[in-house]
């Protein structure tokens, strides 16, 4: 399988002057993308999958999320916001959900749509895809961009297992673009479609779409970034149920476990997994064919699913409880998805096969690589095996790898250094 050589966009940024070199981020990175060298964190862009773990763990604000500035909507004649389902859980219960949606109109959008509008359609699409691909088991969900990238970096043999169809917010974007052009007589370039998202992976997916994420949107705003502006508007608004439609029954996509329950049926067995460590463990088991009895596995990088995204403002458990209440108490607004069904039948949502990501190889030359592997094993025997990260590499193996690649020195191991100092005393 060809390894992609492209440059990667990331929706995170390092602020070196804030970094204390504490190595907390090194320990939580699932792809060993971070090193601390000379007291400062560095991120390998080839390995980063935008999971956001480092953003959450860094207490010194040395790794910050990037998101677009709200001003960019003004470049377009007709502006649409699409809400990720976790948005509904971010406001206290005294603010009615339709009012929190209306606040975005007050902020300058002409229309606000919800990922929740295509939930039922997605369940049908996923079931159909699973039934049509009986030779691949299990099928892996493609809705979490961090998981898709994690598979590209760490589990490339599982790339064919990914559901090769566009993600819900991309499908909705396409639907809205065509509907607005037809209804309002506007050109495609007049319409700006923006996502309001809970995690850095979704911001990255808008700027550098991969597989299920086609370049359909014009920007992405983090819930955290626009939350203050929305609260300001809400203070000026009358908290009354208003004309705006809402689709609470479809908010299930934000909840860990519910997508799997919805897809699960007589002939389809589905499993739901969330949290980066759990996802990695499950993907290892899929590689070993230990989970071939499942037809579909829903994988979310954030703990508790999208409500756990690092760009949300509310505690994930509280947000989950609010969303469940909205689902229970709402009347179902139906969306006519007959057009989408036709597009799906015509193969319009199929995406190109995903490629593995280029990660650190010991050497391009096979002979050199074997030599370096030999040296790596010799170094590994000398290292203490504590995986303490005090050297700035995530594990002793990673330090040995860095040493043979001339990116670190054996003197970076503080345990060995202390041992030598004691011997000399
Ligand atoms: S968590 Fe990482 S980026 Fe933040 S201060 Fe520690 S080493 Fe620096
Ligand atoms: S976003 Fe995730 S993958 Fe990227 S550097 Fe941070 S912890 Fe590692």
What is the position in ligand 2's atom list of the atom closest to the CA of 43? 5
Ligand 2 proximity of 29 Cβ (cutoff 6 Å): yes
Give, using CA atoms, the residue closest to atom 5 of ligand 1: 19
Question: Between 360 and 228, where is the model more confident?
Answer: 228
Ligand 2 proximity of 53 Cβ (cutoff 6 Å): yes
pLDDT cut 70: percent of the chain above it: 95
**From start to end of 74-190, where are the E strands?**
78-83, 111-114, 139-140
Q: Helices 97-106 & 223-236, crossing angle to 10 degrees?
A: 90
Ligand 1 centre from 61 Cα, in Å? 8
Q: Which residue from 56, 63, 310, 393 has its CB within 8 A of the most atoms of ligand 1, so it is best to mutate?
A: 63
Residues 214 and 155 in one domain: yes
What is the position in ligand 2's atom list of the atom closest to the CA of 57? 7
Query: pTM here?
Result: 0.92
Ligand 2 proximity of 56 Cβ (cutoff 6 Å): no
> Residue 345: pLDDT above 80?
yes
Lowest mean pLDDT among 101-110, 352-361, 378-387: 352-361
Q: What is the residue range of 385's domain?
A: 362-425
The pLDDT tens digits for 224-268 are 999 999 999 988 887 665 678 889 889 987 887 888 999 999 999
The pLDDT tens digits for 333-344 are 778 889 899 999
Q: Is residue 200 part of a domain?
A: yes
- Which tokens hold the place of 175? 């639907």
pLDDT cut 90: percent of the chain above it: 76
Where is the domain boundary, 318, 345, 372?
345
- Find the DSSP H helices in 237-350: 258-263, 276-287, 316-329, 338-345
Residues 239 and 380 in one domain: no
Give the mean model confidence (pLDDT) for residues 195-199.
96
Residues 278 and 402 in one domain: no
Number of independent structural domains in the chain: 2
- DSSP-derived letter for residue 268 is B
Q: Is residue 18 part of a domain?
A: no
Q: Which residue from 13, 21, 61, 393 has its CB within 8 A of the most atoms of ligand 1, so it is best to mutate?
A: 21
Ligand 1 proximity of 41 Cβ (cutoff 6 Å): yes
- DSSP-derived letter for residue 265 is B
> Residue 360: pLDDT above 70?
no
What is the position in ligand 2's atom list of the atom closest to the CA of 55? 6
Ligand 1 proximity of 24 Cβ (cutoff 6 Å): yes
Where is the domain boundary, 298, 314, 345?
345
Q: In angstroms, rounded to a whole number, what is the distance separating the alpha carbons of residues 293 and 270?
A: 9
Question: So what's the pLDDT on residue 361?
Answer: 74
Residues 329 and 376 in one domain: no
The pLDDT tens digits for 114-145 are 999 999 999 999 999 999 999 999 999 999 99
The pLDDT tens digits for 53-110 are 999 999 999 999 998 899 999 999 999 999 999 999 999 988 989 999 999 999 999 9
**From start to end of 209-337, where are the E strands?**
219-222, 270-274, 296-300
The pLDDT tens digits for 146-192 are 999 999 999 999 999 999 999 999 999 999 999 999 999 999 999 99
> Residue 307: pLDDT above 90?
yes
């Amino acid at each position: 399988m060809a390894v992609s050589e492209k440059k990667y966009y990331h929706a995170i940024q390092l602020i070196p002057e804030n970094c204390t070199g504490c190595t907390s981020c090194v320990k939580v990175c699932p792809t060993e993308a971070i090193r601390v060298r000379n007291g400062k964190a560095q991120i390998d862009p080839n390995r980063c999958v935008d999971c956001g773990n480092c953003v959450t763990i860094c207490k010194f604000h040395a790794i910050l999320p990037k998101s677009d500035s709200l001003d960019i909507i003004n470049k377009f004649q007709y502006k649409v916001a699409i809400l990720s389902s976790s948005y509904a859980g971010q406001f206290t219960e005294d603010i009615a959900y339709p009012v929190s949606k209306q606040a975005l109109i007050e902020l300058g959008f002409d229309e606000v749509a919800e990922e929740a509008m295509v939930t039922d359609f997605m369940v049908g699409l996923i079931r159909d895809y699973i039934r049509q691909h009986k030779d691949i088991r299990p099928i892996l969900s493609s809705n979490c961009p961090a998981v898709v990238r994690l598979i590209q970096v760490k589990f490339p043999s599982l790339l064919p297992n990914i559901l090769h169809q566009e993600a819900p917010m991309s499908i909705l974007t396409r639907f809205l673009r065509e509907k607005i052009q037809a209804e309002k007589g506007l050109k495609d370039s007049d319409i700006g479609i923006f996502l309001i998202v809970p995690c850095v992976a979704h911001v990255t997916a808008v700027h550098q779409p991969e597989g299920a994420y086609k370049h359909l949107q014009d920007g992405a705003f983090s819930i955290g970034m626009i939350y203050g502006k929305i609260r300001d508007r809400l203070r000026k608004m009358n908290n009354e149920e208003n004309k705006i439609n809402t689709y609470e029954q479809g908010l299930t996509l934000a909840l860990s476990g519910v997508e799997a329950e919805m897809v699960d049926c007589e002939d389809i067995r589905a499993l739901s997994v969330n949290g980066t460590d759990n996802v990695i463990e499950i993907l290892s088991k899929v590689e070993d064919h230990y989970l071939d009895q499942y037809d579909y596995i829903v994988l979310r990088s954030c703990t508790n699913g999208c409500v756990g995204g690092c760009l949300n403002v509310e505690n994930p458990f509280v947000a989950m409880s609010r969303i469940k209440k909205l689902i229970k108490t709402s009347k179902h607004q139906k969306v006519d998805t007959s057009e989408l069904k036709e597009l799906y039948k015509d193969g319009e949502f199929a995406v190109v096969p995903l490629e593995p990501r280029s990660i650190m190889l010991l050497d391009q030359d096979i002979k050199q690589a074997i030599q370096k592997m030999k040296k790596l094993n010799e170094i590994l025997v000398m290292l203490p095996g504590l995986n303490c990260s005090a050297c700035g590499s995530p594990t002793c193996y990673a330090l040995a790898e860095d040493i043979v690649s001339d990116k670190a020195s054996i003197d970076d191991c503080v345990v060995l250094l202390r041992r030598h100092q004691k011997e000399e005393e």
